Copies of this chain bind each other. A is one copy, B any other.
Amino acid sequence: MARPRIKDVARRAGVSEKTVSNVINDYAHVSERTRTAVREAIDELGYRVNLAGRHLRRGRTGIIALVVPELDIPYFADLAALIITEAERNAMTVLVHQTREDRRRELAALEGFGSDFADGLILSPLTLTGTDLRDRPGAPPTVLLGERVRPGQADHVAIDNERAAREATVHLLELGRRRIRVVGGREGTEPGTAEVRSAGHRAALEAAGLPWDPAVLLRVENFRALDGALAVRRLLEAGEQPDGLLCLNDQLALGAMRELHDRGLRVPEDVAVVGFDDVEGGRFSVPSLTTVAPDKHAVARVALELLMVRIAERDARTAGAPPRERVVAHRLLVRESTAGAGSRA
């Protein structure tokens, strides 16, 4: 009982294979009679399209590869959820890869995993450099998220990270905080999110006439709660007394808050904490977390939009337009971790 093929359906309905194909693909000029006859044959046999055959013939897979560092970091999970939903709306299916911070995996992703699996690629890079993005013959259309690798190498969607960090810092400064630390530097990576956000932080300080010291950037191993907690522990054990923390994602912030709690420091009274990403955990934590909320829906929507355009261009063998840069909105959600007792956003 092998699966039925178009051939079987055709025989059963008494038409040609192409006619069956036409019915399946809603081709206009099929009479109502034959259309129903074919539909019936399909139902009776339980026929389902073989996508391998279709892909081979059409030259498109209908698959988008999404590459994120780790899916179990809530921000990426949120993003993936939205992208999958958005892709579906574009009749695309999403295949997810994790780089687990591995540079080789990111490069492999860029190359299309040594194959041409996907029609397009959405990539949230951590370690890639500008040069990695040049000259990728045969690589699929690509949209980068988040980090501004270097302008002009590929389509890119992100919030204005520098401005966001500046606003967050201004917020802390307005609360009178002067000993602010930034949590989330990475070792040995190219200028990435951390550096851009650091620059925003610095700009805010300098605009306020305050000095800036590169040492305020605390390094972390990863972007999980544990890393935030460890960073704060090291800081406090070194005898420092911060009164504000700008954490480069919410997980770091939540870990930091837990560590502060354990050491008897109150948030926000002793230390005000700001995060990035607006994940669910920060909305229900005690205290709830002030955060820079990117418009994630927009990120997903715009990413798909850019990608679908590129894919269409490629199909049409149109000359590729220059890389497109898209900035999506963000806003600072002020919650208890900086505002004192307040309501949940």
Within the complex, the shortest CB–CB distance from A269 to chain B, in Å, comes to 15
Q: Which of A158-166, A201-209, A253-261, A323-331 contacts B (4 or more CB under 8 A)?
A: A253-261
Cβ of B93 and Cβ of A94 under 8 Å apart?
no
Residue from the list B84, B95, B138, B283 in contact with A63, Cβ < 8 A: B95
Cβ of A116 and Cβ of B261 under 8 Å apart?
no
Knowing A56-B52, A115-B49, A116-B3 are in contact, say whether A71-B61 is a contact too (CB < 8 A). no
Cβ of A286 and Cβ of B286 under 8 Å apart?
yes
Knowing A77-B72, A80-B71, A98-B85 are in contact, say whether A115-B286 is a contact too (CB < 8 A). no
Residue-wise interface mask of A (283-302) relative to B, using a CB-CB cutoff of 8 A (1 in contact, 0 not): 11110100000000000000
A50, CB-defined interface residue at 8 Å = yes
A137, CB-defined interface residue at 8 Å = yes
Within the complex, the shortest CB–CB distance from A263 to chain B, in Å, comes to 13
- A96–B66 alpha-carbon span in the complex (Å): 10
Cβ of A61 and Cβ of B52 under 8 Å apart?
yes
- Which residue of the partner chain B has the closest CB to A77? B77
Within the complex, the shortest CB–CB distance from A134 to chain B, in Å, comes to 14
Chain A interface bracket (under 10, 10 to 19, 20 to 34, 35 or more): 35 or more
Which residues of A come within 8 Å of B, CB atoms?
1, 3, 46, 48-53, 55-56, 59, 61, 63, 70-72, 74, 77-78, 80-82, 84-85, 93-98, 100, 111-117, 137-138, 224-226, 229, 251, 254-255, 257-258, 261-262, 280-281, 283-286, 288, 344
Please give, as numbers and ranges, the residues of chain B lying within 8 Å of A72 by CB-CB distance: 74, 77-78, 80-82, 280
Within the complex, the shortest CB–CB distance from A276 to chain B, in Å, comes to 17
Please give, as numbers and ranges, the residues of chain B lying within 8 Å of A61 by CB-CB distance: 51-52
Identify the 9 closest CB pairs spanning chains A and B, nearest first.
A77-B77, A52-B55, A72-B81, A71-B81, A52-B56, A225-B284, A258-B284, A281-B281, A95-B95
Cβ of B48 and Cβ of A138 under 8 Å apart?
yes
Please give, as numbers and ranges, the residues of chain B lying within 8 Å of A281 by CB-CB distance: 225, 254, 281
Knowing A81-B72, A96-B84 are in contact, say whether A224-B55 is a contact too (CB < 8 A). no
Please give, as numbers and ranges, the residues of chain B lying within 8 Å of A113 by CB-CB distance: 93
Knowing A48-B138, A280-B225, A285-B258 are in contact, say whether A84-B71 is a contact too (CB < 8 A). yes
Residue from the list B71, B115, B257 in contact with A51, Cβ < 8 A: B115
- Which residue of the partner chain B has the closest CB to A260? B286
Residue from the list B46, B55, B93, B254 in contact with A95, Cβ < 8 A: B93
Q: List 24 A-B contacts (CB under 8 A).
A: A3-B116, A3-B138, A46-B137, A46-B138, A48-B114, A48-B116, A49-B114, A50-B115, A50-B116, A51-B117, A52-B55, A56-B56, A71-B80, A72-B82, A80-B96, A84-B97, A85-B100, A93-B97, A95-B96, A224-B280, A229-B284, A254-B281, A262-B344, A286-B286
Cβ of A81 and Cβ of B85 under 8 Å apart?
no
Please give, as numbers and ranges, the residues of chain B lying within 8 Å of A255 by CB-CB distance: 284
Cβ of B284 and Cβ of A254 under 8 Å apart?
yes
Within the complex, the shortest CB–CB distance from A318 to chain B, in Å, comes to 14
Please give, as numbers and ranges, the residues of chain B lying within 8 Å of A94 by CB-CB distance: 95-96
- A138–B71 alpha-carbon span in the complex (Å): 31
Cβ of A258 and Cβ of B286 under 8 Å apart?
yes
